[in-house]
Every structure is written in C-alpha cells, then in structure tokens.
Chain A
Amino acid sequence: MTPDVGNYLLVSAAMFTIGLVGVIVRRSPLVVLLSLELMLNSANLVLVAFGRYHGGQDGQIFALVVMGVAAAEVVVGLGLIVAMERRRMLLDTDEIAELRG
C-alpha cells in the first residue's frame, strides 16, 4: 500500500497555500523570500509526483531547473535586501512603496 499521487498533490497544495499566506501577511522581506521558497518547493513536489505517476523523468528535470531558478531568485532577492540594509532603509515591505503607481 503506497500513497497515490493525489495525496502528494494535497500536501503540495497545502504547502503552497501556507506559503501564499506568508507572502501576503508577513512584512519582513526576508520572511517573504522564505515563503516564496515554500511555494516553489510545493510546485517542485507536484512536478516530481506527476513525473512518477506517468513514469517519465522529465518532471524531475523540470524540478531541477526550478531549483536553479530559485537559487537565482534568492541571490537577487538577498542582494536587494543587503543593498537596502546598506542604505539604511526600513526593511518593511509596506514602507518600500516608492514605485507604487
């Protein structure tokens, strides 16, 4: 008896919603980035689960590419946070609103 693909999809959906709530509710840019990681990881879980379900390995390739993209995203995000810190800006996503239309 092994859990079928639907169980993995449910775990992934729950993780995605938790990450989504984190991105919306939290104001510290660091925690927003961490929540984004949660969402990316839940997408990875779906890719791997469907890859296993269909018996192909292409989903795993996609998951690995997503990991690379996540690494690039984190590098840029953390670079922005460090730059903000060096400019002594407030690290608060509600205060960083100069580009608001």
Chain B
Amino acid sequence: MNTLVWALASAGALASALAVIVQRNPFISAIALLGNLASLATLYLLLQSDFVAAAQIMVYAGAIMVMFLFVIAYIGPRGEVQDERRRGWQIGAACAAAGAILVEVAWTVGRSGLTSAATVKDDFGSPKHVGELFLTRYVGAFEIVSLLLLVAAIAAVVLGAGARPNRVRMDERQAKVRAARQLAAQREPGA
C-alpha cells in the first residue's frame, strides 16, 4: 500500500517537475509546480512528517504560488521569452551534466547501505513536537527566519514601488529599437 502511494506520488512529482521546465507558458509551469508541491506533501505524509506536509500546502501552495500567479498575471505575455530555443548543444550539455549528477547520486545511494528506517512513535512529526523543538533548541533559527522575512518584505516594497516608470531610463537596446522605428516612420510617412 505504502509502496503504491509512494510510486504514484513520485511519478506525479517527477512528471510535474518535467512539465515545469518544458512548458512555454509560465502560467502552466506555475500550475505544474503546484502539482509537484502536492505530490511532495504526499511523500511527507508517507514519511510521517504531518506538520511539514501541512506547512508545505499552506505556505507553498497557499502563499508562494499565489504570489507567483499574481506576478505572472501582472506581466502577461511578456513573461514568455520569444523564440526561447537554446542551441542544441547547450541543451545537450546541460542534460548530460545533470544526468551525470543523477547517475552519481544513484550509484552512491545504491552502495550506501541505507536500509530500514528507525522505528518511531505514532506522534512523530506532530505539531507539538515540531513546535517544541522550534521554540527551544532552534529558537535562534526561528527568530532569524522571521527577521529574514521582514527584510524580504521591505525589499519587495522598495523594488516594486521605488522608481517611477516615466522617469526611468529605458533599456538601451529597446531605446535603440524604438529610435530605429521612428527613423523608418519618418522616411516613409505612408507606412
């Protein structure tokens, strides 16, 4: 039973991960990542990490992905890079390097002699235990993460609202394109 659920969740996770990097439309990529996160939450449940699974759904699927979808909707079709094709050898080299890492890890795992997991109590990974650890031994990490999130929120406000669009220098390349178009329009007033 567990093996069946594991196989289904793993297949879902890998298929949706592939969909994330293959899809041209960033919106569909984000939806695929949502499926990936749900599959991972299933795997966490199999590993008896209930609280992490719940946090995965709430924090990732609930908060982070909504932020992604908002930005994708805000940017619109400009989020898709036109003519996004790498040269063949670039894709080949990237896949070969990644495949080499995968083979290396698989080989190491195969020889590592990791076999059966430790036996744990039924309330392993319950919010009670995780919260206790967070507020005792790892209280420093807890506070630093809260500080980090605060700084990130300030940074987002500064980045998003800092410069007024009409006073910003246009990107050089696009300014050139625009100037060339104006020149062409002046030469051919009818066009």
A interface list, Cβ under 8 A from B: 1-11, 13-22, 24-28, 30-31, 33-35, 37-38, 41, 44-45, 48-49, 51-55, 57-58, 60-61, 63-65, 67-76, 78-83, 85-92, 95
Contacts and interface: CB of A to CB of B under 8 A. Distances in A.
5 tightest A-B contacts by CB? Answer: A55-B118, A22-B21, A79-B159, A72-B152, A68-B145
Interface in B131-169: 133-134, 137-138, 141, 145-146, 148-149, 151-153, 155-156, 158-160, 162-163, 165, 168-169
B52 A21 contact: no
Contacts of A51: 47, 49
Interface string B68-80: 1001101100111
A52 B149 contact: no
Given A52-B48, A79-B159, A88-B171, 6 more contacts: A19-B20, A21-B94, A31-B26, A64-B51, A75-B152, A75-B156
Interface in B19-44: 20-21, 26, 29-30, 33, 36-37, 40, 43-44
A35 B20 contact: yes
B33 A38 contact: yes
B68 A34 contact: yes
Contacts, number: 266
Nearest to A19: B17
Interface of B: 2-3, 6, 10, 13-14, 17-18, 20-21, 26, 29-30, 33, 36-37, 40, 43-44, 46-49, 51-52, 55-56, 59-60, 63-64, 67-68, 71-72, 74-75, 78-81, 84, 86, 90-91, 94-95, 97-99, 101-102, 105-106, 109-110, 112, 114-120, 124-125, 129-130, 133-134, 137-138, 141, 145-146, 148-149, 151-153, 155-156, 158-160, 162-163, 165, 168-171, 173-174
A3 B109 CA distance: 14
A8 B44 CA distance: 10
Nearest to B7: A3
Nearest to B106: A10
B152 A85 contact: no
A78 B152 CA distance: 11
A7 to B, nearest CB: 7
